[in-house]
Structure 1
Amino acid sequence: MCEVGEIVRSGPPAAPAGDAAEVELPDLTLRPHLLGAGFSDDELRRLVRTGRLTPVRRGAYVQGDLPDDLLARHTLQIAAAMRELAGDAVVSHISAAVLHGLRIWGVPLGRVHVTRRRAGGGRRGALVHVHVAALDPAEITMIAGLPVTSPARTVADLARMVPFEQAVVVADSALFYQRPDRVELGDLVDVLEAVPRRPGTRAARRVIEFSNGLSESVGESRSRVAIAAAGLPIPVLQWEVRASATGRFIGRVDVGWPELRTVGEFDGLVKYGRTLRPGQDIAEVLVEEKLREDALRDEDLAVVRWIWSDLANFAPTASRLRSRFRRI
């Protein structure tokens, strides 16, 4: 009998030219194909027990273990769910955000979200949440052969239903200035205004008014939310600091208050990993960061840093910032 790996899988076709994003969905092995290749249900159960196959959902398997990464797992769940749903289902909400590669924080990934262009029939099951809503053809794009809500529609849908902080993270990502397929602010406004009475639209407007394409990470987006909630002045994002005497570029800081002579930096470890040059280790980066901070202080700038755990209770950090604010 043939090996499991020899079975022809039923994965979606490769993304055709012109797709909104180049995403390769994972290979799935489906029960009908395995049965058609001569495997019995008893053999399939034995393959699952021995770890050769792992169920993604009923009747859909991946060879070996599920990936540890939650986003990769959710992509598997999307691929499996879309094989069982009716042809009018469009991947949407947090599932669409995953396929678009948007930053995500604090939004559950236990269910695959899809939208159907119907008047009724929505349901929330254990594995799939089916939304029903009007969908303009312009709000649908194709990713790896699957219909997916556009980035702008995806942000609007999430902003209507998830808490403010989580929605800002996604919106900032879609607007991010270095993103090749970045969404324009006007596109988000247009999507919301197309159906102004849809539930959650007022909350979504607040999200979009606050969002900014200069935030470079989940931590920076959450920091902006925390700064605003603490009642601190609105900072300058990605402030480029130069030496007052020579104009020499010193560095770009996450947030700054030029008139108050204070800068703020969110310290996520991944931030330093991004700055590594070939052959450079993290210790060199940390030394360079120390020299950069010394140069900022030489410009009579107070430097306040915070980490992930500070974002859960930002009040002490806000107090440190206030204590360092000073007028020229």
Structure 2
Amino acid sequence: MTDAALTHHRSLSAQGLTRADVRALERAGELTRIRRGVYQRGPFEAGDGARHRQLVRATWLELGDGAAVSHASAAVLHGLPLLGKAPARVCVTRPEGGHGRADSVLHLRLCPIDAAETVLIGDVLVTSLARTVVDVARESSLDQGVVVADAALRLGLHPAELADAVTRAKRRPGVTRARQVASFADGASQSPGESVSRVRMHQAGLPTPVLQWHLGYDDGRTTESDFGWPELRTLGEFDGKVKYGRLLRPGQTVADVVMAEKQRENRIRRQGWWLVRWGWDDLRDVQAFGRLIREAFANAPKVV
């Protein structure tokens, strides 16, 4: 995310390029339009987040002093996961002066912010990890708030820092949601799917699981599951579409991994445990998800 990769239309004009020339360079892939009047040399990096980072860079160059990239845009820059696509507009917070506004590129908010709540990422001023989590949580769903909070804790954010950021926001809209997110967040959740699964478990009134439960086999080996209910002899795993892909070893196919997972499931059951899996579709309906997990509890071997 460097200035060298960006160029303005006025710079291209100064080089003698006409609008037709610029369009020809775009068709050839030598220029990519980021926003009106700002181009990137070469194609976009792969990924929705990379594109948004360049949009932030292109917009940041035109902002005055005192502004900080915030909310979902700050989450992207910190590497926090978002549910769905990166925002279409750059989210910015300014402590005072002027008015908040939203257009096709920029969403500007006016809100108190001090130096302790900002950090530099590259040379872009961004709200701190804790402030970013609180801002996202205040203005988004519980699911999204927990996803970014869990990820921030995994990145090293201390719970006390998050609690302090919530206290700082005590008179701002949505702080009740932010407080709920902060108290529920757990850095042991290793993916957005696991974070949303925990929310659904809470909403369905299910027992609180142990995260990243290790089960020992009789031969001394162990296996790890996303969730464990030891008193109920039940393990739970969220299986996103990419999970099996991450398990692939050189020379393996997805079918090989699926077979290995079935064999693993059989070993787990021979140890006297039950394994239940679910995906994103199962998380859409709280009650249906609750039934799925309770059926697993009922199928699990009973401790005599």
Q: Counterpart of 2:283?
A: 311
- How many residues of Structure 1 are paired with residues of Structure 2 in the alignment? 300
The question of 1:219 aligning with 2:193 is answered: yes
Residue 305 (structure 1) shift = 0.8
CA gap of 1:73–1:108, structure 2 versus 1, over 3 A, is: closer
Backbone CA RMSD of aligned residues: 2.3
The question of 1:156 aligning with 2:134 is answered: yes
The question of 1:266 aligning with 2:244 is answered: no
SS at match of 1:103: coil
Query: 1:112-261 maps to which residues of 2 (within 5 A)?
Result: 112-118=90-96, 120-176=98-154, 179=155, 182-243=156-217, 248-261=220-233
Query: 1:3-82 maps to which residues of 2 (within 5 A)?
Result: 11-12=2-3, 27-48=5-26, 52-67=30-45, 69-82=47-60
For residues 150 and 203 of structure 1, the distance between their equivalents in structure 2, rounded to whole angstroms, comes to 19
Which residues of structure 1 form unaligned runs of 5+? 1-9, 14-26
Residue 29 (structure 1) shift = 2.1
Asked whether the equivalents of residues 48 and 86 of structure 2 are also in contact (C-alpha less than 8 Å), the reply is no
For residues 11 and 299 of structure 1, the distance between their equivalents in structure 2, rounded to whole angstroms, comes to 54
SS at match of 1:269: coil
Residue 122 (structure 1) shift = 1.4
For residues 129 and 324 of structure 1, the distance between their equivalents in structure 2, rounded to whole angstroms, comes to 46
Residue 279 (structure 1) shift = 4.8
Q: Which string of whole-angstrom CA distances, capped at 9 and with x for unpartnered residues, describes residues 151-201 of structure 1?
A: 11110111111111111111111012xx3xx10111110011123112111
CA gap of 1:77–1:305, structure 2 versus 1, over 3 A, is: same
Which has a greater percent of helix?
Answer: 2
Q: Which string of whole-angstrom CA distances, capped at 9 and with x for unpartnered residues, describes residues 51-87 of structure 1?
A: 5433211110124554552111111111111111113
CA gap of 1:107–1:39, structure 2 versus 1, over 3 A, is: closer
For residues 249 and 225 of structure 1, the distance between their equivalents in structure 2, rounded to whole angstroms, comes to 31
For residues 11 and 323 of structure 1, the distance between their equivalents in structure 2, rounded to whole angstroms, comes to 53
CA gap of 1:50–1:277, structure 2 versus 1, over 3 A, is: closer
Asked whether the equivalents of residues 204 and 289 of structure 2 are also in contact (C-alpha less than 8 Å), the reply is no
Which residues of structure 2 form unaligned runs of 5+? none
Q: Counterpart of 1:16?
A: none
The question of 1:94 aligning with 2:72 is answered: yes
Q: Which string of whole-angstrom CA distances, capped at 9 and with x for unpartnered residues, describes residues 112-146 of structure 1?
A: 00111215521122211111122221211111211
Q: Counterpart of 1:293?
A: 265
SS at match of 1:142: strand
Asked whether the equivalents of residues 267 and 305 of structure 1 are also in contact (C-alpha less than 8 Å), the reply is yes
For residues 222 and 287 of structure 2, the distance between their equivalents in structure 1, rounded to whole angstroms, comes to 29
Task: Identify the match of residue 324 of structure 1 among 289, 293, 296.
Answer: 296
The one-letter code of the counterpart of 1:266 is: F
The one-letter code of the counterpart of 2:269 is: R
For residues 10 and 179 of structure 2, the distance between their equivalents in structure 1, rounded to whole angstroms, comes to 46
Residue 212 (structure 1) shift = 0.7
Asked whether the equivalents of residues 250 and 296 of structure 1 are also in contact (C-alpha less than 8 Å), the reply is no
Asked whether the equivalents of residues 239 and 255 of structure 1 are also in contact (C-alpha less than 8 Å), the reply is yes
SS at match of 2:137: helix
For residues 295 and 235 of structure 2, the distance between their equivalents in structure 1, rounded to whole angstroms, comes to 13
The one-letter code of the counterpart of 1:304 is: V
SS at match of 2:227: strand
For residues 60 and 147 of structure 1, the distance between their equivalents in structure 2, rounded to whole angstroms, comes to 20
Asked whether the equivalents of residues 31 and 43 of structure 2 are also in contact (C-alpha less than 8 Å), the reply is yes
Asked whether the equivalents of residues 90 and 115 of structure 1 are also in contact (C-alpha less than 8 Å), the reply is yes
Greater CA drift, 281-290 or 212-221: 281-290
